[in-house]
């Protein structure tokens, strides 16, 4: 018989293991590559920890490390060509339209290939050279603790246990590296900063300095940057040696690093204060604090956000906590159960958002915040034809609305430059952003007709402004964003043309993001009129603008006119050729039927005009589209598809897509690590390939979408709308998911059925909810609530701000 005391211990132990398996990234060796290193960040400063025991490398990032500068990317005479391009499209002369567009209707200059466009890049490497490297390393372990945002590397050498802890503090705005040896005075290493180009270094006393200036492009000077580091040790010595520091005879050492640039976001036409004094001040302030206080402040700040949500999948017990994360990916791909891996991925996504996006700062870019390159892929910019938006899909649903703020602000910042672009190209009112942007607020079309003409980038961003309102209803905020929506709607309605064949209104000229069509006469092109995605974004934008105006009681006449336009927009069509949702206004063939973008399903997710309840036929066509596109694709494409299947209520296919996203995107043949294909790297970064962070965020949102939805008519809250039948998912609990109209939920389920759900009202709005059979709604004090029924198990009731309502069985 086991004594109760031991039983409790055993239970505690297994809970600890379970908890670690969904909270920790684990490695049994140092990183050989960036995609094995551990990311940390405070929304501005980032660090990637390699955990090497010979030469330690920590890649440092600062989110404003952008080359290039403000420019006028608009062609002043572009508008003269607009009517002809539009007429050619109306006459089905797509080839001629595209040729003319390429000549006169792309960005001025080289666009994203130009040096003035700029690119995001590494700040520097922090290198620690360990002086005692003879003797074998044993007991090596490297852990990223998601719940405290702390990276820990431990190892033994020559009978000494070493420990390195790294965190990036938001409260103190510095990177901290704490080194410890269990033997007195055993720490012996050098510290230096390294940057391949455009920087100078110096060392003096216990401090290191780096200063530099990026290329502004086109002969202009770019932003200035600086880093400053102090090494503090209570028992050893620190001395400057060349451009580095030597630490000796210490058992404890704290490195404090500050960094800054003079990018003056959002007033980027001016420069901010000189960066070195800023960085230095931050370091000096932190140096006055004891490291346990620095750590405590950091953890408290981080957990304020991170602890809002928690997912536990308990359908099966799997004991994987002591397995390296890379191995877990490999095992999972081989079909071995790992109930905690999806929860770990979910937690990692929230972790990344808190770490890469903080109010007042720049939004998370294609790299989030983390890059080791001097020339990042796709400039590490803000792609507006899905990627930037996908970064923010989890923000509202997983309870991180503050982290949404950088994107909302960024959208507002595009209005002024976007008005100029709207004038130059379309002679229209309002504002437009095309397919990509930068901290320099680029809004012109891209330089290539085959992908650069998407003119709904800004309109898509407006969805985020509106959704923030839906999740956090607040009239003052609505008033603030209304002019942005209005400007986007003015532009959209201004540039519509009539399709002579149908009389519908359509955007022109545009692209269906990056896909190529083949016309009946064999022209393979991209320039088009009214791609499905543009029309869906338009219906959403106009619908939201009309609703906002109605709530605010403004612009009555204009909003009625918007309603008229909205009704005439080219509708969703089912392709006679494929049975899927038609991607272009005409039923063209796709050059690449399995193209990564599934733009014609924008209306299914993130927008919700296509859904099984309200539009069953179009939802069936959407399913067909997904079958035709297939389950492969780039990392972010797979993440998008999880969301699609979740919205279609197919939990099994959603899980299949999640598994496809979690496919190891690496090989370790002969012990050598190589990146390979799309999926997931050992540090759980998403592989486009290469690393691109959008897939991490897209899938985090998708996991939420599998467990709770509040879209469609009335934003009805539906629990477990796409729960997989897979055993691991059959039982579990989720806390902290949010629903539209200001509700916070917590719920649990067993054997695939909801057992209890709590809905807390933060805004006092009416609650619409789908109540499973046999369940009842209870209000304050456990009293059964009087609800109005709507059919299909849907009920609604009034709520009071701050009150909770519970769904349970009688
Ligand atoms: C879009 C995608 C690409 C890539 C790039 C950054 O253009 O089509 O796959 O993700 O953004």
* pLDDT at 157 exceeding the cut of 60: yes
Q: pLDDT tens digit string along 401-440?
A: 999 999 999 999 999 999 999 999 999 999 999 999 999 9
Query: Which of 367, 636, 689, 693, when mutated, tests ligand 1's pocket best, judged by the most ligand atoms within 8 Å of its CB?
Result: 636
Task: Indicate which residue's Cα is closest to atom 8 of ligand 1.
Answer: 514
Q: How confident is the model at residue 398 (pLDDT cuts 50, 70, 90)?
A: very high
What is residue 780's predicted lDDT score, i.e. its pLDDT? 80
Q: pLDDT tens digit string along 676-719?
A: 999 999 999 999 999 999 999 999 999 999 999 999 889 999 99
Residue 796 β-bridge partners: 768, 788
**Ligand 1 atom nearest to 377, measured from its CA:** 6
- Strand pairing of 732-739 and 310-313? antiparallel
Mind spelling out the 3-state secondary structure of 25-63?
EEECCCCCCHHHCEEEECCCEEEEECCCCCEEEEEEEEC
Q: How confident is the model at residue 1 (pLDDT cuts 50, 70, 90)?
A: very low
Q: pLDDT tens digit string along 367-380?
A: 999 999 999 999 99
Q: pLDDT tens digit string along 109-141?
A: 999 999 999 999 999 999 999 999 999 999 999
State whether residue 645 is helix, strand or coil. helix
Residue 227 β-bridge partners: 210, 259
What would the DSSP string read from start to end of 533-602?
HHHHHHHHHHHHHHHHHHHHT--HHHHHHHHHHHHHBPPP-B-TTTSSB-SSSS-PEESSTT-S--GGGT
Measured CA to CA, the distance from residue 441 to residue 672 in angstroms comes to 41
Query: Which of 380, 460, 514, 695, when mutated, tests ligand 1's pocket best, judged by the most ligand atoms within 8 Å of its CB?
Result: 514
CA of 590 from ligand 1 middle (Å) equals 18
CA of 633 from ligand 1 middle (Å) equals 11
CA of 438 from ligand 1 middle (Å) equals 15
Q: How confident is the model at residue 30 (pLDDT cuts 50, 70, 90)?
A: very high
CA of 386 from ligand 1 middle (Å) equals 8
CA of 121 from ligand 1 middle (Å) equals 18
CA Rg, the chain, in Å?
27
Mean pLDDT throughout 317-340? 95
Q: pLDDT tens digit string along 430-461?
A: 999 999 999 999 999 999 999 999 999 999 99
Measured CA to CA, the distance from residue 149 to residue 293 in angstroms comes to 15
Mean pLDDT throughout 164-193? 98
User: Is the separation of the CB atoms in 401 and 468 below 8 Å?
Assistant: yes
**Ligand 1 atom nearest to 692, measured from its CA:** 10
* pLDDT at 212 exceeding the cut of 70: yes
State the DSSP code for 663: S
Q: What percent of the chain has pLDDT over 70?
A: 98
What is residue 671's predicted lDDT score, i.e. its pLDDT? 86
* pLDDT at 352 exceeding the cut of 50: yes
Q: How far is CA 149 from CA 143, 152, 270, 299, in A?
A: 10, 10, 34, 7
The residues, any chain, with a CB within 8 Å of residue 218's CB and separated by 6 or more, are 71, 114, 115, 116
CA of 341 from ligand 1 middle (Å) equals 27
What is residue 319's predicted lDDT score, i.e. its pLDDT? 87
- 29 is written with which tokens? 């060796």
What would the DSSP string read from start to end of 205-219?
TTEEEEEEEEEEETT
Q: Using the structure block, give the residue that is written with the tokens 């950091």.
A: 298
Cα-to-chain-centroid distance, residue 706: 18
Q: How confident is the model at residue 19 (pLDDT cuts 50, 70, 90)?
A: low
* pLDDT at 12 exceeding the cut of 60: no
* pLDDT at 5 exceeding the cut of 70: no
When the pLDDT of each residue in the chain is averaged and rounded to a whole number, the result is 96
- 444 is written with which tokens? 């012109």
What is residue 8's predicted lDDT score, i.e. its pLDDT? 52
Of residues 9 and 135, the one with the higher pLDDT is 135
- Strand pairing of 718-719 and 708-709? antiparallel
Residue 775 CB: number of other CB atoms within 10 A? Answer: 21
* pLDDT at 11 exceeding the cut of 60: no
CA of 527 from ligand 1 middle (Å) equals 18
Q: What percent of the chain has pLDDT over 90?
A: 95
- 686 is written with which tokens? 């998403």
Residue 803 CB: number of other CB atoms within 10 A? Answer: 13
Q: pLDDT tens digit string along 184-204?
A: 999 999 999 999 999 999 999
User: Is the separation of the CB atoms in 587 and 577 below 8 Å?
Assistant: yes
**Ligand 1 atom nearest to 387, measured from its CA:** 11
- 770 is written with which tokens? 């789908």
Q: How many distinct helices (H) and strands (E) make up the chain?
A: 19, 38
């Amino acid at each position: 018989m086991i004594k109760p005391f031991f039983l409790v211990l055993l239970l505690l132990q297994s809970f600890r293991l379970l908890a670690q398996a969904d909270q920790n990234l684990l490695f049994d060796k140092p990183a050989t590559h960036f995609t094995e290193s551990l990311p940390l960040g405070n929304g501005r400063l980032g660090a990637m920890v390699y955990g090497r025991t010979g030469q330690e490398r920590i890649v440092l990032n600062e989110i404003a490390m952008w080359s290039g500068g403000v420019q006028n990317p608009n062609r002043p005479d572009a508008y003269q060509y607009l009517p002809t391009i539009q007429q050619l499209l109306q006459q089905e002369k797509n080839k001629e339209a595209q040729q003319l567009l390429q000549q006169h209707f792309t960005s001025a200059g080289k666009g994203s290939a130009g040096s003035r466009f700029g690119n995001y890049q590494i700040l520097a490497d922090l290198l620690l050279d360990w002086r005692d490297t003879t003797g074998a390393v044993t007991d090596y372990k490297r852990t990223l603790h998601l719940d405290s945002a702390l990276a820990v590397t431990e190892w033994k050498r020559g009978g000494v246990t070493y420990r390195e802890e790294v965190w990036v503090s938001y409260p103190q705005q510095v990177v901290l590296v704490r080194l410890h040896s269990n033997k007195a005075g055993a720490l012996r290493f050098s510290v230096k900063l390294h940057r391949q180009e455009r920087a100078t270094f110096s060392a003096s006393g216990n401090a290191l300095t780096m200063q530099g200036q990026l290329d502004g492009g086109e002969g202009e000077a770019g932003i200035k940057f600086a880093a400053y580091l102090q090494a503090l040790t209570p028992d050893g010595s620190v001395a400057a040696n060349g451009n580095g520091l030597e630490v000796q005879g210490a058992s404890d050492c704290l490195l404090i690093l500050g960094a800054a640039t003079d990018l003056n976001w959002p007033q980027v036409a001016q420069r901010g204060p000189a960066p070195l004094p800023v960085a230095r001040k931050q370091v000096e302030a932190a140096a006055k604090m004891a490291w346990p206080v620095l750590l405590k402040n950091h953890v408290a700040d981080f957990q304020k956000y991170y602890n809002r949500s928690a997912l536990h999948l308990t359908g099966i017990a799997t004991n994987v906590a002591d397995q390296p994360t890379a191995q877990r990916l490999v095992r999972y791909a081989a079909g071995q159960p790992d109930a905690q891996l999806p929860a770990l991925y979910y937690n990692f996504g929230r972790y990344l958002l808190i770490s890469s996006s903080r109010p007042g700062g720049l939004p998370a870019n294609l790299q989030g915040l983390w890059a080791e390159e001097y020339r990042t892929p796709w400039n590490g910019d803000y792609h507006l034809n899905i990627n930037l938006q996908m970064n923010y899909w989890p923000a509202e649903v997983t309870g991180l609305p503050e982290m949404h703020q950088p994107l909302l602000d960024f959208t507002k910042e595009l209005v002024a430059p976007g008005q100029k672009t709207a004038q130059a190209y379309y002679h229209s009112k309002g504002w437009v952003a095309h397919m990509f942007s930068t901290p320099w607020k680029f809004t012109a079309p891209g330089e290539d007709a085959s992908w650069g003409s998407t003119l709904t980038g800004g309109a898509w961003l407006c969805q985020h402004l509106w959704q923030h309102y839906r999740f956090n209803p607040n009239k003052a905020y609505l008033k603030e964003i209304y002019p942005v929506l209005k400007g986007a709607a003015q532009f959209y309605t201004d540039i519509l043309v009539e399709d002579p064949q149908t009389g519908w209104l359509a955007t022109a000229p545009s692209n269906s993001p990056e896909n190529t069509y083949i016309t009946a006469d064999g022209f393979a092109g991209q320039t088009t009129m009214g791609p499905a995605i543009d029309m869906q974004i338009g219906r959403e934008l106009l619908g939201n603008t009309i609703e906002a105006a109605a709530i605010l009681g403004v612009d009555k006449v204009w909003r009625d006119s918007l309603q008229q336009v909205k009704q005439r927009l080219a509708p969703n069509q089912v392709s006679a050729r494929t049975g899927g949702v038609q991607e272009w206004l005409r039923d063209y063939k796709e050059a690449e039927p399995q193209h990564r973008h599934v733009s014609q399903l924008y209306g299914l997710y993130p927008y919700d005009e296509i859904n099984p309840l309200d539009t069953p036929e179009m939802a069936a066509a959407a399913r067909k589209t997904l079958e035709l596109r297939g389950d492969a694709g780039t990392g972010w494409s797979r993440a998008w598809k999880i969301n699609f299947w979740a919205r279609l209520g197919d939990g099994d296919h959603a899980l299949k897509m999640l598994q496809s996203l979690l496919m190891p995107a690496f090989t370790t043949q002969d012990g050598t690590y190589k990146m390979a294909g799309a999926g997931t790297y050992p540090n759980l970064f998403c592989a486009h390939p290469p690393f691109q962070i959008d897939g991490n965020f897209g899938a985090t949102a998708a996991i939420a979408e599998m467990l709770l939805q509040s879209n469609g008519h009335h934003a009805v809250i539906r629990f477990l709308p796409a729960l997989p039948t897979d055993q691991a998912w059959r039982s579990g609990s989720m806390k902290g998911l949010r629903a539209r109209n200001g509700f916070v939920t917590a719920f649990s389920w067993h054997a695939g059925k909801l057992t209890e759900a709590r809905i807390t009202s933060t805004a006092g709005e009416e609650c619409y909810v789908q109540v499973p059979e046999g369940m009842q709604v209870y209000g304050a004090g456990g009293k059964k609530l009087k609800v109005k029924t709507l059919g299909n198990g849907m009920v609604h009731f009034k709520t009071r701000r701050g009150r909770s309502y519970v769904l349970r069985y009688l």
